[in-house]
């Protein structure tokens, strides 16, 4: 196998930002929304989706950084992995998921999937009215803060798109970027085979060309890959910094919610976990990263969407 290389836990309380108040109230030039509507929008879910359990790395960051937000999580497990799909397929899947999420009333969507972010983000941002955040640019910004010789491990589709190289060089044109497509990582994570000797063997082969380039920074170019951190860390020099774009995309989401006045200041609703495939399998695999066994709903997207249309 020769990789191709190219040059909820319980929420905590949060404090409200202080408002700039004057001694006399100033009249508003714009009609204000009724308070019940504003409260309802603030309490609406943030939609998070991935092909499977990879997006749980983003979910954990949401729990940490935005503990008051309610989350709707969707894993498209019936159609994973995304990383070997065509751009047309990915775009169709993302449109279906977002159509369903909008129908569920989400106030924002986070693509917790680098493949979707690389291949579909710009198109769906033009088609849907809710804020939609992707992982590539936040990850690139975080990477250049850590180093200038940047390795990216990603799905074959993300690596082939050159999305990370383009994003990194938009931020810092002097940075060098090497990308490796890692087709076996997602199936190994989904099969809960992280500790298998075979996983270490595969990881060593994927990392070898990046280590030859003497990288100083490694970006998780797929949200499944932070689950492999013990494996990757054991194979990397201590000097190589690991960058998880999940941290940065959630920080960007927090900023966006603040700007839009959509931060929830009340207690969150329980997280909704939904999948297109086997709910029991998702619950079994995800418990080790969530710290609890989630209740998982099965959603048949084509069936649900046909009901919306009709």
Q: Supply the residues annotated as catalytic.
A: 113, 222
Distance in angstroms (rounded) separating the CA atoms of residues 239 and 66: 31
Q: Alpha-carbon distance 254 to 307, whole Å?
A: 33
SS3 175: coil
Cis peptide upstream of residue 221 (ω within 30 degrees of 0): no
Element (H, E) at 120: helix 114-127
Q: What is the DSSP letter of 177?
A: E
Residue 224 and residue 192: Cα distance in Å, rounded? Answer: 11
Residue 19 and residue 190 in contact, taking contact as beta carbons nearer than 8 Å: no
Using alpha carbons only, give the angle 258, 101, 290 rounded to the nearest 5 degrees: 75
Nearest Cα to Cα of residue 147 among 222, 210, 219: 219
């Amino acid at each position: 196998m020769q990789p191709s290389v190219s040059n909820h836990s319980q929420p905590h309380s949060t404090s409200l930002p202080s408002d700039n108040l004057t001694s006399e109230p100033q009249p508003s030039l714009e009609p204000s929304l009724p308070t019940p509507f504003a409260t309802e929008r603030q309490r609406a879910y943030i939609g998070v989706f991935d092909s499977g359990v990879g997006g749980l790395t983003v979910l954990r960051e949401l729990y940490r950084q935005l503990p008051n937000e309610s989350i709707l999580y969707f894993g498209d497990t019936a159609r994973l992995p995304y990383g070997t799909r065509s751009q047309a397929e990915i775009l169709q899947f993302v449109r279906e998921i977002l159509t369903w999420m909008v129908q569920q009333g989400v106030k924002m969507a986070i693509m917790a999937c680098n493949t979707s972010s690389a291949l579909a983000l710009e198109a769906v941002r033009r088609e849907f009215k809710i804020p939609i955040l992707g992982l590539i640019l936040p990850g690139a910004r975080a990477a250049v803060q850590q180093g200038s010789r940047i390795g990216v491990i990603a799905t074959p589709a993300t690596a082939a798109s050159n999305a990370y190289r383009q994003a990194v060089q938009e931020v810092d044109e002097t940075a060098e970027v090497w990308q490796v497509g890692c087709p076996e990582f997602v199936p190994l994570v989904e099969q809960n085979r992280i500790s298998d000797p075979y996983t270490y063997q595969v990881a060593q082969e994927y990392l070898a060309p990046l280590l030859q380039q003497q990288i100083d920074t490694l970006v998780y170019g797929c949200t499944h890959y932070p689950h492999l951190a013990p494996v990757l860390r054991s194979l990397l020099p201590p000097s190589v910094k690991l960058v998880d774009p999940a941290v940065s995309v959630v920080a960007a989401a927090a900023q966006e919610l603040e700007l839009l006045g959509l931060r929830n200041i009340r207690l969150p609703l329980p997280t909704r976990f939904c999948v297109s495939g086997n709910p029991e399998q998702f619950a079994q695999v995800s418990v080790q990263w969530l710290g609890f066994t989630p209740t998982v709903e099965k959603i048949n997207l084509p069936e649900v969407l046909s009901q919306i249309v009709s």
